[in-house]
Amino acid sequence: MLTLKEAEEKILKLREEIEKHNYQYYVLDNPLITDAEYDRLMQELLALEKEFPELVTPDSPTQRVGGQPLEGFKTHVHRTPLLSLSNAFGAEDLWDFHRRVLSTLGVDQVEYVVEPKIDGLSIALYYENGLLQIGATRGDGFTGEDVTQNLKTIGNVPLKLKENIPLLEVRGEAYMPKESFRRLNEEREAKGEVLFANPRNAAAGSIRQLDPKIAAQRDLRVMVYDIMYLEGKEIFRHSEALELLRQQGFSVIEPFISSSMQEIVDYCAKWAQKRHDLSFEIDGLVIKVNDLEKQKRLGYTSKSPRWAIAYKFPAEQGVTKLVDILVRVGRTGAVTPTAILEPVRLAGTTVSRATLHNEDFIRDRDIRIGDYVVVQKAGDIIPEVVEVIKEKRTGEEIVFHYPTHCPECGSRIVRLEGEAVARCTGISCPAQVREGIIHFASRNAMNIEGLGPAIVSLLLDNQLIRDAADLYYLQFADLVKLERMAEKSATNLLNAIEESKTRSLDRVIFALGIRLVGQRAAKILAQEFKTMANLEKATLEELTGINEIGPKMAESIVAFFKEEKNREFLARLKKAGVNMESVETSVLSNKLAGKTFVLTGTLENFTRKEAQEKIEALGGKVVGSVSKKTDYVVVGAEPGSKYEKAKELGITILNEEEFIALLDRRD
Cα 21–275–350 angle (5° rounding)? 105
CATH architecture, domain 4-64? Orthogonal Bundle (1.10)
Those residues whose C-beta lies under 8 Å from the C-beta of residue 145, and which sit 6 or more positions away, are 73, 74, 75, 76, 136, 137, 139, 208
Instruction: Report the share of the chain in percent with pLDDT over 70.
Output: 93
Q: What is the CATH number of domain 596-664?
A: 3.40.50.10190
Cα 55–60–64 angle (5° rounding)? 135
pLDDT score at 586: 46
Stretch (H or E) spanning 260: none
pLDDT score at 666: 61
Pairing of the two strands 121-128 and 112-118? unpaired
Those residues whose C-beta lies under 8 Å from the C-beta of residue 557, and which sit 6 or more positions away, are 514, 517, 525, 535, 538, 543
Q: What is the pLDDT of residues 282-327, one digit of tens each?
A: 989 999 999 999 999 998 876 789 999 999 887 778 899 999 999 9
Provide the 3-class DSSP secondary structure of residue 577.
coil
Those residues whose C-beta lies under 8 Å from the C-beta of residue 471, and which sit 6 or more positions away, are 437, 440, 441, 448, 451, 459, 465, 497
Q: Is 645 a catalytic residue?
A: no
Q: In this structure, are residues 494 and 476 in contact, taking their beta carbons and an 8 Å threshold?
A: yes
Q: For residues 185 and 196, what is the distance between their CA atoms, to the nearest angstrom?
A: 7
Answer CATH for 430-500 from 1.10.10.10, 3.40.50.2000, 1.10.150.20, 3.10.450.50? 1.10.150.20
Q: For residues 607 and 613, what is the distance between their CA atoms, to the nearest angstrom?
A: 10
Domain positions in the chain: 4-64, 87-312, 317-414, 430-500, 505-576, 596-664
Marked catalytic residue, from 117, 288, 294, 614: 117
Alpha-carbon dihedral of residues 90, 91, 92, 97, nearest 10 degrees? 100
Same CATH topology for 430-500 and 505-576? yes
Give the CB-side neighbour count of residue 155, counting CA atoms within 13 A: 20
- Please state the pTM of the whole predicted model: 0.52
Those residues whose C-beta lies under 8 Å from the C-beta of residue 621, and which sit 6 or more positions away, are 595, 596, 597, 615
Nearest CA-CA partner of 110 in 101, 119, 118: 101
Provide the 3-class DSSP secondary structure of residue 596.
strand
Crossing angle (nearest 10°) for helices 430-441 and 453-461: 130
pLDDT score at 69: 43
Cα separation of the two ends of the chain: 70
CATH architecture, domain 505-576? Orthogonal Bundle (1.10)
pLDDT score at 365: 93
Q: What is the CATH number of domain 317-414?
A: 2.40.50.140
CATH architecture, domain 87-312? 2-Layer Sandwich (3.30)
Q: Show the low-confidence residues of the chain (pLDDT under 50).
A: 66-69, 380, 585-587
Q: For residues 420 and 407, what is the distance between their CA atoms, to the nearest angstrom?
A: 19
Q: E strands along 576-617, which residues?
A: 596-600
pLDDT score at 443: 84
pLDDT score at 278: 87
Sheet hosting strand 652-654, strand order edge to edge: 621-622, 596-600, 632-635, 652-654
Q: In this structure, are residues 21 and 38 in contact, taking their beta carbons and an 8 Å threshold?
A: yes
Q: In this structure, are residues 175 and 223 in contact, taking their beta carbons and an 8 Å threshold?
A: yes
